[in-house]
A and B are shown apart, each in its own frame.
Chain A
Amino acid sequence: MPFQTLKKDTAEELSLEWIMHVKNYKLNLDKNRCVGCQICSLACPKEAIRIEKQSKTVGEKTQKAKVDIDLSKCNFCGICDILCPYGAITVTVDGKHLLSVLDKESFPQLIRDIKADASKFPMDRDKSEDVCPINLIKVHYSTAEGKPVEDSCSLNESEQHALRMKVEVDKEHCPCCGICEAKLPQGAMHVRRILSGKLAIKRENCPEGCTDCLDVCPITGALYLSDGDKKVHENEMFCVYCGACKIVCPVDEALDFKRTRINHTPVRSGAWNKALERLTSPTDMTKELKAKRSLRARESVKKRMGLKEEQRV
């Protein structure tokens, strides 16, 4: 069998494949999870990913932008997989989700700092699960004996008190908006952002009645339609800075958007620096490099002077 390349594009998924006799590379884009932000296309080192704005139909909600991947350019490195805040892309080698770029420390991992304290969760399962705009929180109740309990609300207070709770967060697909932390009782969830940045709507530039950005935003509450001026307002508290809104915005000056920082594991890699420069800005990339350099300088001084942490103060 000769070397084969395959591309399948359905309503549910887009998949690319390299089939070699002894090895199989596969990239899978879950179109239900994809929000049409531009992160993968900016991060791709081979410029294989294209984002296409969908044409608008009058009277209907604006469609999220569509992702297309060029099979002849893709090298299955998995950088898109690593950076997708929604975990929509999966790259596998022989069916295993083990990325060589991580293994060889050629690329960092996003830090999804998510902690859940089940004891602080409310008794109402639906209420706790529904806070997540993309349904990633699952709560399980069981009796002290370990028997699963389906309907916890019907129990009386003492019974409820005896229940054991287990909270499962699908971290892999979580963009870390922090809505759960804000809406659930204090201490139930702890979420740190992956991406930081700036989002400001210049409403004076918004076309009359335009809600394109709001239509595509996957995080309920990050954008909202104001009752007063009937225009879209932003709530940066919940924004994940994915940029899906920026892609569909019809007026360039209407949306002031930028990413400034990405929370990632430490790495020394040219590929990361380039991706960071494209995702944030050259200035922000330089900032990170400077921070890294000063950290290294401090380390080496520490090593040379033989100073200990306490003595330094």
Chain B
Amino acid sequence: MSKEIRKSVDTARKKTKPRQKKARPEAESPRIGVFVCQCGSNIASIIDVDALTKYVQTLPNVVHAENMNYPCSRQGQDEIIAAIKNNKLERVVVAGCSPRLYEPTFQSCVSRAELNPWLFEMANIREFASYCHQTTPGEANEKAKDTVRMAVAKARLLEPLKPIELPVTKKVMVIGGGIAGINAALDLADMGFKVYLVEKTETIGGYMALLDKTFPTLDCSICIEGPKMVDVGRHPNIEIISYADVLKVEGYVGNFKVKIRKNPRYVIAANCTGCGECRDACPIEYPNYADMYLGARKAISIPFGQAVPLTHTINRDYCIECYKCVDACGAREAINFDQKPEEIEVNVGAIVVTIGYGMYDPKDLAWTGYGRFSNVFTAMEFERLILAAGPTGGKVIRASDGQKPHSVAFMQCVGSRDINRYEYCSSFCCMYTLKHSVMLKEKYRDAIEVYVFYNDMRSNFKGYEEFFNRAQKSGVKFIRVKLENRRITEDPQTKNLTVCGENEDGKPVSVEAEMVVLANAAIPSQAASELAKILKIPLGKDGFFAECQPKIRPTDTEVPGIFLAGACQGLKDIPYSVAQGSAAAAQAASALSKGSWTVEPLVAKVNDELCSGCRVCESACSYHAINVEKAGDKSTAKVTEGLCRGCGICSSACPMDAITMPNYSDCQIVAQIQAVMKRELKKHD
């Protein structure tokens, strides 16, 4: 601690009166009730709940103690409410499981008995005693007693609290304009919320806009998504901020401040009609990412015909600045070579993250020959080959000779289900391979042989197994191979490929094919790790965003007000991304629809008189929730309640003892310590 801080601490200490000792609570007040849970056999098989209940009755202030099987059940809760009323209980302790899941349940239970929900305390005798000391029941029982005694000691000092209401901005930001983001945005906009849809690339649509057909119905992908994209562009409540990056996010649920950089397109969106005359005049071409670089696009162009917004973009990396586009645009005057990146700030109440996924580059898997053999493609490249609006006009042709192949082999699980690359299953590759093989078979019939090298065919979900049957019936040959020892080799003369593997018995199988398509792994988006830092939300170990609870809160993040949808949370195909987009929209809407956001009152409280403004708390807080502000001639710490997570670090760091955590105050914690030490003393006596 620096000299100045020490000095200010000393002077402030002198000024304040010595703290008054709290009067010892009288024997009967407050009246405490303890409910011991048996939890089926989870607790009762190790802990002698009857003995524990008897022991609890001996503790000071406890006027009621009973054990029951499931206090969390409807019947159990009713019994607790009745006991509170009959015994005029002022504090309630439940000795059972983890407060993480059940504290809210019992808080609402006691509030129904007209007791303040913060006058409730939980003692975890399941995880802390019966679960972890199964082999030593004697010690487990002792520990259960200690845990309950501590809870009762704290309950005696609990104070009633009021929840904090924070105002919210009724606007939502959706980050990522794929199919999940499009649905989230449309749902929220229809509910009346203003939506900002931020997209990194030039157009919304995501991967779905680049696909030819969708499985299992073989609907044209862009024909389904295109109208939705147009709806987004036309919706009065949606503002698309495309070709933009999210730079910074500050604030908390209901009050986020987002800084965005709009990258220059060198085309004024308001003036561009999307006519494409500039594109026709432009002499320069470069490889098009939307065509997986199989074909080229002009230096001023849109990535594909259905782009929304239909605004052209100049790629200055390739443009030679001949200004032919300026001449072609003429009186519309949409082209501006002086455009600069523009930073804007937007206030929103909630954020939905839908940034999607990326694709693994199989070049570093040498056995695939990808990048070395000209007729080995990835699935996305094949998708652009077979698409009528693609670079070859829908002709499936080899790179080596431009001829239609007479045999195509599909290789599954490239990079995925590989503990050295991506351990998980990419979830939709089996299905798109079935789609590609059916499309080839139904287009060329007997003129083409289609082989699928697979390990497990994963065709669960509605209509998918039937689609697998359709593929089998159409004559596609399925060859089951082990994931190890697969190999693709090329005949240097014919450029044909030999696909080799081992069947279940370890015997080699091989097939010659004129084209090979790899089902390369889908991987976390490149932008995910950076965005995770900006939003302060965690990534899972696979690199996808981690949801708050995998089973019952799949669209929530650890940060209230930030929600997840689509493949950025975990790989999923189109219908599930759509459903999750709508789910996240509903979550965001329910957070904002009340007009205010309720925060648990367990946030740091600063005693202005004691605070010396030393700023120790400021640097201790990892949530930037506490800041020293000048008020009049004194600087004191102020807590931003929406950001405070109640961790208590500031309270313990404060040299003046000026910060308290409601219901985690020093005297409450000391009382618990004293309660647990009592047994220790007895033992040594």
Please report which residues of chain B, range 359-388, place their CB below 8 angstroms from some CB of chain A when the two chains form the complex: 361, 363, 370-371, 373-378, 381, 385
Contact string, A70-88, partner B, CB cutoff 8 A, digits 1/0? 0000010101000000000
Q: Is the CB of A2 within 8 A of B321?
A: no
In the complex, which residues of chain A have a beta carbon less than 8 angstroms from the beta carbon of B321?
A: 45, 270-271, 274
B294 adjacent to A106 (CB under 8 Å): no
Assess whether B283 is in contact with A101, with CB atoms less than 8 Å apart: yes
Asked if A124 lies at the interface with its beta carbon under 8 angstroms from chain B, I say no
Interface readout for B296-307 with A: 1 if CB under 8 Å, 0 if not? 100100000000
8 Å CB contacts to B: which residues of A261-313? 268-272, 274
Q: How far is the CA of A18 from the CA of B284 in the complex (A)?
A: 14
Q: Does B542 contact A (CB under 8 A)?
A: no
Q: Which residue on chain A has the smallest CB distance to residue B286?
A: A75
Minimum CB–CB distance from B388 to chain A (whole Å) comes to 14
Known: A1-B375, A2-B371, A22-B391. A106 touches B320 (CB 8 A): yes
Number of interface residues of B (CB under 8 A): 37
Chain B residue nearest to A267 (CB atoms) is: B322
Across the interface, which residues of B come within 8 angstroms of A21, CB to CB? 294-295, 381, 385, 391-392, 399
B399 in contact with A101 (CB, 8 Å): no
Q: Is A147 an interface residue (CB 8 A)?
A: no
Which of B322, B361, B371 has a CB less than 8 Å from the CB of A271?
A: B322
A241 beta carbon closer than 8 Å to chain B: no
Interface-centre pick from B299, B318, B322 (highest chain A CB count, 10 A): B322
Q: Measured between C-beta atoms, what is the minimum distance from B403 to chain A in Å? A: 13
Q: Does B285 contact A (CB under 8 A)?
A: yes
B599 interface residue per 8 A CB criterion: no
Bound form: Cα–Cα A106–B323 in Å: 8
Smallest beta-carbon distance A48→chain B, Å: 11
| Chain A interface bracket (under 10, 10 to 19, 20 to 34, 35 or more) | 20 to 34
Q: Does A161 contact B (CB under 8 A)?
A: no
A227 at the interface (CB under 8 A from B): no
**Do A101 and B320 form a contact, CB below 8 Å, given A1-B377, A2-B381?**
yes
Query: CB-CB < 8 A to A79: which residues of B?
Result: 320
**Are B370 and A2 touching (Cβ within 8 A)?**
yes
- Asked if A46 is an interface residue, CB under 8 A from chain B, the answer is yes
- List A contacts of B373 (CB < 8 A): 1
Most buried by B among A2, A45, A79: A2
Instruction: Give chain B nearest CB distance to A298 CB in angstroms.
Output: 21
Would A1 and B374 be within 8 Å (CB), given that A20-B287, A45-B321 are in contact? yes
Determine whether the beta carbon of B283 is less than 8 Å from that of A103: yes
Which listed residue, A20, A22, A46, A100, touches B283 by the CB 8 Å rule? A100
- Which residues in chain B, 390-445, are within 8 Å of chain A measured between CB atoms? 391-392, 399
Q: Judging by beta carbons under 8 Å apart, are B295 and A22 in contact?
A: yes
The chain B residue with its CB closest to the CB of A3 is B293
Contacts of B343 in A (CB 8 A): none
Known: A22-B392, A104-B282. A2 touches B322 (CB 8 A): no
Neighbouring A residues of B391 by C-beta, 8 Å:
20-22
* CB nearest to A274 among chain B residues: B321
Q: Which of A1-50 contact B (CB under 8 A)?
A: 1-4, 18, 20-23, 25, 45-46
- Whether B296 pairs with A2 at a CB distance below 8 angstroms is no
**B666 close to A (CB within 8 Å):** no
B506 to chain A, nearest CB (A): 32
> In the bound complex, do residue A18 and residue B324 qualify as a contact, i.e. CB atoms below 8 Å apart?
no
Give chain B residues whose Cβ lies under 8 Å from the Cβ of A106: 283, 320, 322, 324
| Known contacts A1-B374, A1-B375, A107-B322, A20 near B284 by CB under 8 Å | no
CA distance A3 to B283 in the complex (A): 21
A105 within 8 A of B: yes
- Residues on A with C-beta less than 8 A from B530 are none
- Residues of B contacting A45 in the complex (Cβ-Cβ under 8 angstroms): 320-321
Chain A nearest CB: distance from B258 CB in Å? 34
Which of B321, B370, B375 gathers most chain A CB within 10 Å?
B321
Find out whether the CB atom of B376 lies under 8 angstroms from the CB atom of A1: yes
**How long is the Cα–Cα vector from A25 to B371 in the complex, in angstroms?**
18
The reply to whether B320 and A271 contact each other, CB–CB distance below 8 Å, is yes
Q: A20-B295, A75-B317 are in contact. List 5 more A-B contacts (CB 8 A).
A: A21-B295, A21-B392, A45-B320, A106-B283, A269-B323
Residues of B within 8 A of A (CB): 281-287, 292-296, 299, 317-318, 320-324, 326-327, 361, 363, 370-371, 373-378, 381, 385, 391-392, 399
**Can you list 28 pairs linking A and B with CB atoms under 8 Å apart?**
A1-B371, A1-B376, A1-B377, A2-B293, A2-B370, A2-B371, A3-B294, A20-B287, A20-B293, A20-B295, A21-B385, A23-B285, A23-B295, A45-B320, A45-B321, A75-B284, A75-B286, A75-B320, A77-B283, A99-B283, A100-B284, A101-B284, A104-B281, A106-B322, A106-B324, A268-B327, A271-B321, A271-B323
